[in-house]
Chains A and B, each alone.
Chain A
Amino acid sequence: MRKSKLFVHLWKQMLFLIVCVIQFSIATAQTEVISGKVTGNDGNPLTGASVQLKGSKKGTITDANGAFVFKTSISQGNFIISMSGYKSQEVIIKAGMFANIILQEDAKDLQDVVVVGYGTQKKTSLLGSISTVKASDITKVPSTNLSQALVGKLPGLITRQSSGLPGSDDVDLYVRGFSSLNSNSPLILVDGVERSFNNLDPSEIESVTILKDAASASVYGVRGATGVILVTTKRGKEGKPTFVYSGSVTSSSNTRMPQYLNGEEFVEWYNYADEINGRNHTFPDAVVNKITNGDPDGIYGNTNWVNKLLKPSTLTSQHNLSVNGGNQNVKYFCSLGYLNQDGIVKGVSYSRYNLRTNLDATITKDFSISLDVSANTADAKSPQISNFSGNGNTVSINLMNQIMVAHPYLNPISVDGMYLTSSLQSGNNPLAARDLSGYNNNDNTGLQNSLALNYKAPFLKGLSFKVIGSYDKNFYHTKSFYKPYTLATIDPTQGSSSTNETAAPYGTVAILSESYTQSSRWTLQEYIRYGRDFNKHTVGALVVAEQSSYKYSGLGASAQNFDLTDLDQFGFAKENPDRPYGSSGTTNRIGWVGRLNYVFDNRYLAEFSGRVDASTNFPENNRFGFFPSASVGWRISNEEFFSKLHSPINDLKLTASYGILGNDVTGGSYEYLRFMTLTTRPVANIGGINVNGLLPTSYPNTELTWEKARTANIGLTAELWKGLLGIEFNGFYKVTTDILTSVSNVYPPSVGGFFPTTVNSGKVDNRGFELVVRHRNQIGKFNHIVVGSISWAHNRILNMDQSAGIPEYLRLIGRAMGLKIGLVAEGLFSTDIEAKALPVVNTSAKAGDIRYKDLNGDGKITYEQDVTVIGRSSLPELNYSFAYEAGYKNFEASFLIQGAAICDNALMGWYDGIGWDDTQFTRAFYGGNTPKYLVENAWSPTNTSGKYPRLDNQWRPNNNWASSMWIVNGAYVRLKNVQVAYNFSKWKSKPGAFSVKVYLAAMNVVTLSSFKYLDPEAPNVSNGYYPQQKTLSAGVRLSF
């Protein structure tokens, strides 16, 4: 074919597409009309089924209602009706007659093709350990981001959501838990390219697959060790254009929040704490009287700050409009999405727009292209003094903390309009912080584009070539403006009614900070594929070369001191104390993938795959690595002897795999280079001029290499009673070696600091299993699906850099990662005499203070000597779920129960790898108001059976240590989702009909856990955080 002709053809296809979108279809000059409808054996219309005249290329695809209309010159013909997952049928259809065709479901699982690395594979011949979730399950209950939609749906995916803040409420995802001392985050690919999925609209997702074992992830080589998540977006299907609108309105509220003292209770408990600790009442009777009976000055009162600042519920709305369709030459999927999410605190919001067009076009018989263009833009806003960013809770002044500890005995605003606060403990007023402190805004925009060219080699059957080029660009912008404000401070201890004007505790100077960062990534993948059947042999081969380059650059500045704070521009600032800063970097990667598949007689399966990878994180001598894997499978059910057994097992497959994967995480980029830093101050005066120096600041670590994870996996897949019961089991053992760990104090000073700070010396193993049991049945018009799954993963540190002389109870080698260290609490002292007699941290200990275990037996409690492991990691070892889905006629209902176990949470602030600190959940009146449980259950002379330490409003030096007193079991079970829906689609059965589905859905409906005051997934450092949200949604889905 000549080049020009090719372009003409391409142009024609494009025109066709445009016409198609506008007119929905084009008429042809044929006379006879073949029409009908295809339904499945459950009575549901089948969309996208192929209707083809036997022996020709003429045919069409059914629309959203299963209907097809087809103009032809013949009056009657043999048609092949086929659809993936169903048995094909040959029927004779006459022109002018409406044919009703029912396709029988194939005995095999409906989801018979799954996404794997660099391609798709028939589920029946799959050897690796993978889990997949489909579009219908992702969008069943509206969720604001994709990661939330995955919770409980992918066996082997360990999840933890520690924040409910709009825009930051994504879930931490770990494939099979932790297996490295460094980053355990999986590699995330969207349509084959490394991309974040945080800003994608869940409605544009077709499927999400996780690759868990070495056999399935080895094609990702040096980046596959911590698992891979493959996200696939929706594509057009042949057929009339189908418009789908889905919209939902969601109301959300906090899952859990401890109850706080009101004004009266606060002063009562506070004074009582003084009393039992031998002090005078802090609040004089006059003040108590004003709080109880009203204050004529309008200062003292009874304020419920939580109710005042946290809305009982808030609204999220989501809309998505998509169209998909096409003919055999051009297929398209276009989607437009919008999300608007308000926070439970005024001023917190998140909004997002998503746009996507995925096109597939066949240019010639052998040549086709796919063009994906997508864009998203998201905008998150919050009050300046909120510090919600990330988990946010690590900052003690975060707004949620302020709300919790605010003084309940004060009115929020005085009669003359001043924001009131107290000189007792922290001087905050969360209302002022929310409304007056300025703002924090983050917005980012992403563009994701890919073009794929496919070419089927005409000279060798089964050989094809493909080239995919993609280019992504992301823009991030943050702007924060702190505006100083004043508070009216009252001293309640003096019974005073006059206030002092004081500055807010965050400074008296307005500060404006702004930064822009942009990043881009291009990826080029070149494929050679070969796949063919020869009698009983099926062979497949794949070679991919991949190159990618990631670049980023950023610019930020800040300025302060504004006479007017109405406009937030640098030009109005009077001072620029800090220089603007810039940053930039490049990461390039290159890799070659190879995979060979072989199947003999559908009984014996084998696959070898591997990847050669180069990562710029490593020195030239260690830059290239080879990551091989091998897997074998045996489909026992296809053996002749098996069919003779007449067992209820229809399908039984055993698989085993082994492979090596890498993790190229390093402490920083280019660690193999010797870096130079310009001194910030002059080093000498030369010729009357101060000169700076260039100084090497790093040791060029030329020995650095990747972590290696060796994974063995065995799997069993079985189907019994023709699909009534399905079982999938995977067991694994994984050893990660060469984990980067830091070294210190092993080199003499004479080498002058010329030594590596990190070496590849850590070793961790991880073992576990996933078990999925499915039941699917159809009884008349009632059908239901039950899926139960359980995932367990347990890791151990086999080697790390820990001093040899460390006592056994502190030795981390041999133990799991992320353990919590602290003193062992053995209840409370029951008498002062006991407190005097037994070992204590501080001699001020009295009855009601914590009794610790003296581990080294020296008669003293010293933190360094007497700490041991007191709690498990916060990341659960066990995750399980139970999903139920049922349909009857036009009704649908489903629910998902999800839970986690074998994990602990710390109420004291636990900073991983650093240490611990008190929080307002462990120390009564810490910073102000206090949760009721801490005072009501505290030991006091009148409550000697109290569970928590002696009630006090002061720091008690014996009690505020990290101890097992504050470790709570992190296990929980949630009714994660519930959904009921009604389909109006059967109102009309004519072609081009309208279908409507309405539903009600709820998320995080009920949560059960041992500690009932905080959400079980609360972060470890909890000075008050933005909790997970409980939601109730109403939605509609229209399709026409």
Chain B
Amino acid sequence: MKKNVLYAIILLSALFAGCKKFVTPEPTDRYSESTAFKSEANATLYANSFYPILNYYGLFGGAYLGGNMYTDGLTDIMKTGGSTIGSNGAVANLYATNPSLITTDQNSLDIWTNGYYYIRLINEFLQGLNNSKLDNTVKTRLTAEARFFRGYLYFLLIRNHGSVILITEPTTASLPRSTKDKCWDLVAADLDFAAQNLPDKRTAAEAGRLTSGAAYGMKSRAMLYAERWQSSLDAAAKIISRIDGMYALNADYSKAFRSYVSGNKESILEFNYNYPQLVHNYDAIASPGGDDAFFEYGGDVEPTQELIELYEKAGGGTVDWSNWHSTSVTTTPPWGTLEPRFQATVLYNGAAWKGRMIQAYSGGKDGWVSYPPAGGTNKGATVTGYYLKKYLDETHSDLVNTRSSQTMVEIRLAEVILNYAEAAYHLSKSTESAIAVNTIRSRAGLPSFNATGAALLVQIKKERTIELAGEGHHYWDLRRWKDAETTLTGLKVHGIKVNMLGSSYSYDYIICDDAQRQFLKKMYAFPILSSELVNNTNCTQIENW
């Protein structure tokens, strides 16, 4: 009987047995965070989720105005085709002429919600990674990747608002905005950490992942906005020191926008697409209307006569456009004589394209319509007489059914060199600055330019406008330079209307805007949206809003 008692006791001892593990089962139909940091491969998969940031905020993404390529349309150098919301970059036209569309409730240039969504994901990732048992080198490498993206996002947010709320770990707290300095400090720290801990070069299998060059390049750009000239210069110098070994300007400007993988050593940070799963719409949006049989799409972003007239002749020398500042001119404009960057950036009537000639006249295959177009959409026709060529894939034949997959180069060496030039100028290093500008000119087959002082700055800005036209920089550069009011307010952009007269053409200098462009001083810092202020009483509105 004593044994029976023993059995009973043993049996019942389970009453008090430990159970913590038992009531902590792992879900079996979903992945939880513990899976995410189980191995380097898993954590890398997690970090992959941040790469769409490059796409979304890049030229082919939709962060601003429904399409980032439309931001140039807010400036003097481009015009978008549509005039009614929902058509062909119309928002850019509306925003260009009516600044009152930017309110504290609605702003198509605002990225606050999406930006902070990604910042939250990154902060969660960093926290989880830090607490994980992964190897330190893996942690450092992945932290560097994540912090690049965080630094990039904060840079974009600060570019918009001047100063923002700094959140570096997951929180539900309502926090105030930090000072401008603190904000830029965080961007600098994140990009520095990334630059110092990312590999300089990626293997073929890893091509497309961030490199230290990407971080230096981004820092040189961001620090221009911070007006921390030395930081910008230093970061640009790191890249420039790698010229020839790793990076080089592409001798052919028209190929400067191709992938690093295909041999374009000018590309420093890029996002690659792959048909049919990873695609974008750029060709369908920007191509001349004659490229697709339906004659309904394209021509969304069109260079203005203002941009055309910035270009020099091939080999150097200015062009006198005064002959074409009138109507019914029968002489063909000197398009064919302009420098290679024009030829690579602009499609004009008669330009060779996809084995045909561009017909940018009323009734032509590509067409022309006056702005604002009837029905609100230009249906692929041009309103300025020009089409944007840069970044279009000339081999892309079926725009209607096949989406685009050409690479988007976020940072290329030419930009970094121009960053260097600008930073050097502000550090009173005129010589270095001029050398940098002339490097860019020389690739375009243009003679060196010698200037100092204000003239040098004017030249740097002009060179930058030309070099980076159509790449989504110009609107932000104008704001950064505080040139937006003087350049834009009161402006109506121009174009050249081509008229077909039997077998010849006549040319009219036309105004393409239906109203004057406007830029208000307070737009140098966009307002904080009311959805934030309503639920976050610690956050104050930007001055003047």
Interface positions of A (Cβ within 8 A of B): 1, 366-367, 453, 455, 457-459, 465, 467, 524, 526, 528, 543, 545, 547, 549, 553, 582-590, 592, 614-616, 620, 623, 669-670, 673-679, 681-688, 690-696, 700, 745-755
Contact = CB atoms under 8 A, between A and B. Distances in A.
B344 interface: no
A658 to B, nearest CB: 28
B120 A753 contact: yes
A467 B11 contact: yes
Contacts of B397: none
A759 to B, nearest CB: 11
Contacts of B261: 688
Given A676-B36, A749-B531, A750-B167, 8 more contacts: A547-B22, A590-B23, A674-B32, A676-B31, A683-B52, A685-B273, A694-B31, A751-B172
Contacts of B55: 684
Interface in B336-352: none
24 contacts: A465-B12, A585-B29, A616-B23, A669-B27, A670-B30, A673-B32, A675-B30, A677-B31, A679-B49, A681-B277, A682-B274, A685-B274, A686-B207, A687-B208, A688-B261, A694-B31, A694-B46, A695-B46, A748-B531, A750-B532, A751-B173, A752-B116, A752-B121, A754-B172
Contacts of B535: 745-748
A677 B32 CA distance: 8
Interface stretch (B1-9, B382-390, B434-442, B476-484): B1-9
Interface in B1-52: 1, 4-5, 8, 11-12, 14-16, 19, 22-25, 27-33, 35-36, 42, 45-46, 48-52
A587 B205 CA distance: 42
Nearest to B261: A688
Contacts of B117: 749, 752-753
B468 to A, nearest CB: 24
Contact of B5 (A459, A674, A686): A459
Contacts of B22: 547, 549, 588, 590
Contact of A754 (B30, B45, B170, B272): B170
B172 A750 contact: no
B295 interface: no
A706 to B, nearest CB: 14
A694 B532 contact: no
B279 to A, nearest CB: 10
A441 to B, nearest CB: 25
Interface of B: 1, 4-5, 8, 11-12, 14-16, 19, 22-25, 27-33, 35-36, 42, 45-46, 48-52, 54-55, 112-113, 116-121, 124-125, 128, 165, 167, 170-175, 203-209, 261, 271-274, 277-278, 529, 531-536, 539
A119 to B, nearest CB: 17
A694 B45 contact: yes
Contacts of A751: 116, 120, 167, 171-174
Contacts of A453: 11
B120 A684 contact: no
Contacts of A690: 274, 277-278
B539 A750 contact: yes
A696 B45 CA distance: 12
A750 B175 contact: yes
A1014 B175 CA distance: 58
A590 B124 CA distance: 32
Nearest to A6: B4
Most A CB atoms within 10 A — which of B8, B22, B24, B207?
B8
B118 A696 contact: no
The 5 closest A-B pairs by CB, nearest first: A752-B120, A693-B49, A748-B536, A684-B51, A693-B48
Most A CB atoms within 10 A — which of B22, B48, B52, B272?
B48
Contact of B11 (A526, A585, A678, A685): A526
A589 B25 CA distance: 10
A583 B29 contact: yes
B345 to A, nearest CB: 26
A255 to B, nearest CB: 42
A547 B120 contact: no
Contacts of A545: 14-16
Given A695-B49, A750-B112, A755 B11 contact: no
A589 B15 contact: no
Contacts of A678: 31, 45
B227 to A, nearest CB: 25
B272 A696 contact: no
A545 B35 CA distance: 32
Nearest to A673: B32
Contacts, number: 208
B206 A686 contact: yes
Contacts of B533: 748
A685 B272 contact: yes
Contact of B51 (A366, A528, A693, A748): A693
A586 B28 contact: yes
A583 B30 CA distance: 9
A583 B55 CA distance: 33
Contact of A687 (B120, B204, B271, B534): B204
B527 to A, nearest CB: 14
Contacts of B54: 684
Most B CB atoms within 10 A — which of A524, A620, A678, A694?
A694
A590 B205 contact: no
A870 B77 CA distance: 62
A528 B31 CA distance: 40
Nearest to B173: A751
A455 B539 CA distance: 69
B187 to A, nearest CB: 17
Contacts of A1: 1, 4
Nearest to A691: B48
A980 B1 CA distance: 56
A692 B277 CA distance: 11
A750 B116 contact: yes
Nearest to A467: B11
Contacts of A616: 23-25
B208 A684 contact: yes
B19 A547 contact: yes
A537 to B, nearest CB: 26
A688 B207 contact: yes
Most B CB atoms within 10 A — which of A457, A589, A685, A688?
A685
B165 A750 contact: yes
B96 to A, nearest CB: 27
Contacts of A677: 30-31
Given A694-B46, A753-B117, A684 B27 contact: no
B178 to A, nearest CB: 12
B539 A748 contact: yes
A684 B31 contact: no
A687 B277 contact: no
A691 B24 CA distance: 32
A683 B118 contact: no
Contacts of A582: 29
B278 to A, nearest CB: 5
Nearest to B169: A754
B103 to A, nearest CB: 16
A624 B118 CA distance: 35
B163 to A, nearest CB: 13
Contacts of A694: 31, 36, 42, 45-46, 48-49
Contacts of B121: 695-696, 752
A912 to B, nearest CB: 28
A751 B8 CA distance: 56
A924 to B, nearest CB: 40
Most B CB atoms within 10 A — which of A457, A676, A692, A746?
A676
Most B CB atoms within 10 A — which of A453, A590, A692, A750?
A750
A394 B323 CA distance: 74
A766 B531 CA distance: 38
A614 B24 CA distance: 10
Contacts of B48: 683-684, 686, 691-694
Contacts of A749: 112-113, 116-117, 529, 531-532
